[in-house]
């Protein structure tokens, strides 16, 4: 969420931001709603002041004056009540729009409409030359009997799959390998609840705008994590941290759940499913360091692919492709031989103070007179299912799949045959 005062005082900045994002947003409606809200609120405060003054006089006046005073107060009270109702409605109208206004792209983010305008920052690793036609991960998964698509569907419906034998072990190995790696680079491991309150989902910007993308429980205001980002960012919701604690760095493995309503790409295989595993990185930083920290966060996520020896590229997303809460995002895409293209396995974003304002995460100290909102960053490090798909394809031989050396202490086997 953006600072309403910034919107009021610099509407041109917001207008430019929306234009860069190619978004139609009723900005004027928001500003008008806020103006009217403020106007009525002011009137309400004046009435309250009148009432408070009368009330304070009460103990000192005579009995007959008291009766008169009560009549006056009651009259003002009626006016207050109706103003309160009006103010409440106006605030709701303003907030409806305010909560749906996206973050402002950072100045270093290139202008663009979509994927084709994203910029490749670097390409790392050698793409392997195959002397046979590489198979798709789902073909490999079925032929080696490590991914069972049909039975996944039987258990939970379309969009779910089941891992079996060495497939299940490889998934677990990838999770542990990534957790250990990030822990060794200074991240604190967290194992959070897989459900989160509606407030938590609001804090990261997933509610109210992306309600349709999440699963929720039927009786409570609890939602299944679409990413551990929700849990990790909200660890410090409603807290005032000390400058000396920053930056905080967290890593968590969690399953992630996404309804993927109305999407029709990558449905074959395990690339786009309703449940997948992910190791997630989150940083909470002071404002002045957050963009440096983003670069380091991307490096931390890249390290996984470097060690697995899987070719990848890093893309700087253009304004049109930027997520709702993000000011700047890098995607990391790993090479998918069967489709002769790169596949997103990580998305690393600096959400600046957008989430901190919603989740109310501040800090004091560091020579600052007043408390200030922190910056929050998140990045996959990495999505496990997609990493597995990429790994299977890159490491396939005609009769087996080789396990990358770095994973062997975790898998306890060196090939899937």
Q: Would you say 55 or 82 has its CB closer to RNA?
A: 55
Q: Cα separation of 377 and 299, whole Å? A: 13
- Contact call for residue 191 and RNA (CB under 7 A): no
User: CA 94 → CA 34, 55, 82, 279, 379, distances in Å?
Assistant: 6, 33, 19, 37, 31
Count of Cβ atoms closer than 10 Å to residue 247 Cβ: 18
Q: Would you say 176 or 240 has its CB closer to RNA?
A: 240
Task: Given the residues 48, 259, 272, 313, select the one marked as catalytic.
Answer: 272
- Contact call for residue 121 and RNA (CB under 7 A): no
- Contact call for residue 56 and RNA (CB under 7 A): yes
Q: Output the smallest distance, CB 84 to RNA, in A.
A: 8
Task: Given the residues 40, 94, 258, 357, select the one marked as catalytic.
Answer: 258
Q: Would you say 140 or 224 has its CB closer to RNA?
A: 224
Q: Output the smallest distance, CB 105 to RNA, in A.
A: 24
- Contact call for residue 155 and RNA (CB under 7 A): no
- Contact call for residue 62 and RNA (CB under 7 A): no
> Of residues 224-263, which lie at the interface with RNA (CB under 7 A)?
239-240, 242
**Contact with RNA (CB under 7 A): which of 368, 400, 405, 412?**
368
The region of 25-33, 56-64, 120-128, 247-255 touching RNA under the rule CB under 7 A is 56-64
> Of residues 19-38, which lie at the interface with RNA (CB under 7 A)?
38
Cβ-Cβ contacts under 8 Å for 186 (sequence gap 6 or more): 249
Structure tokens that stand for 289 in this block = 């360091």
**Contact with RNA (CB under 7 A): which of 36, 73, 190, 402?**
73
Q: Output the smallest distance, CB 228 to RNA, in A.
A: 20
Cβ contact 298:348 at 8 Å:
yes
Closest to 250 in 3D by CA, of 234, 232, 225, 227: 232
Q: Would you say 125 or 365 has its CB closer to RNA?
A: 365
- Contact call for residue 404 and RNA (CB under 7 A): no
The question of whether 338 is a catalytic residue gets the answer no
Q: Output the smallest distance, CB 371 to RNA, in A.
A: 6
Q: Cα separation of 61 and 140, whole Å? A: 90
The question of whether 313 is a catalytic residue gets the answer no
The question of whether 347 is a catalytic residue gets the answer yes
Q: Is the dihedral of CA 333, 338, 339, 341 positive or negative?
A: positive
**Contact with RNA (CB under 7 A): which of 15, 31, 48, 287?**
48
The question of whether 344 is a catalytic residue gets the answer yes
The question of whether 143 is a catalytic residue gets the answer no
Count of Cβ atoms closer than 10 Å to residue 413 Cβ: 14
- Contact call for residue 59 and RNA (CB under 7 A): yes
Kindly list the catalytic residues: 258, 272, 344, 347, 386
User: What does the binding site for RNA look like in residue numbers (CB under 7 A)?
Assistant: 4-5, 38, 42, 44-46, 48-49, 51-56, 58-59, 69-70, 73-74, 77, 239-240, 242, 364-371
């Amino acid at each position: 969420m953006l600072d309403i005062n910034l919107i009021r005082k610099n509407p041109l900045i917001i207008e430019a931001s929306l234009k860069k994002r190619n978004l139609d947003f009723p900005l004027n409606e928001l500003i008008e709603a806020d103006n009217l809200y403020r106007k009525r609120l002011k009137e309400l405060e004046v009435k309250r002041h009148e009432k408070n003054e009368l009330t304070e006089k009460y103990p000192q006046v005579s009995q007959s004056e008291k009766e008169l005073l009560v009549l006056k107060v009651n009259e003002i009270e009626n006016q207050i009540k109706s103003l309160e109702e009006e103010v409440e409605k106006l605030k709701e109208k303003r907030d409806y729009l305010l909560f749906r206004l996206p973050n402002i792209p950072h100045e270093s983010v290139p202008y663009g409409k979509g994927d084709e305008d994203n910029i490749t920052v670097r390409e790392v690793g050698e793409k392997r030359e195959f002397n046979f036609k590489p198979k798709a991960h789902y073909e490999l998964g079925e032929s080696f009997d490590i991914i069972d698509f049909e039975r996944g569907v039987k258990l939970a419906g379309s969009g779910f799959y089941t891992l079996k034998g060495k497939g299940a072990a490889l998934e677990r190995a990838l999770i542990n390998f990534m957790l250990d790696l990030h822990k060794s680079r200074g991240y604190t491991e967290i194992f959070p609840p897989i459900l989160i309150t509606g407030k938590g989902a609001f804090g990261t910007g997933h509610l109210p705008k992306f309600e349709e993308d999440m699963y929720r429980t039927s009786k409570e205001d609890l939602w299944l994590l679409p990413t551990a980002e929700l849990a990790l960012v909200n660890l410090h919701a409603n807290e005032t941290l000390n400058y000396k604690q920053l930056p905080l760095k967290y890593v968590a493995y969690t399953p992630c759940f996404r309804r993927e309503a109305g999407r029709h790409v990558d449905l074959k295989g395990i690339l786009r499913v309703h449940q997948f595993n992910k190791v997630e990185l989150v940083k909470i930083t002071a404002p002045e360091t957050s963009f440096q920290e983003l670069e380091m966060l991307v490096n931390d996520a890249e390290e996984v692919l470097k060690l697995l020896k899987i070719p990848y590229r890093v893309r700087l997303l253009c304004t049109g492709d930027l997520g709702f809460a993000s000011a700047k995002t890098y995607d990391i895409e790993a090479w998918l031989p069967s489709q002769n293209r790169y596949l997103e396995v990580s998305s690393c974003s600096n959400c600046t103070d957008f989430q901190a304002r919603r989740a109310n995460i501040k800090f004091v100290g560091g020579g600052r007179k007043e408390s200030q909102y922190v910056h929050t960053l998140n990045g996959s490090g990495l999505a496990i299912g997609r990493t597995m798909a990429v790994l299977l394809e890159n490491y396939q031989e005609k009769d087996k799949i080789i396990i990358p050396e770095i994973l062997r202490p975790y898998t306890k086997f060196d090939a899937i045959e």
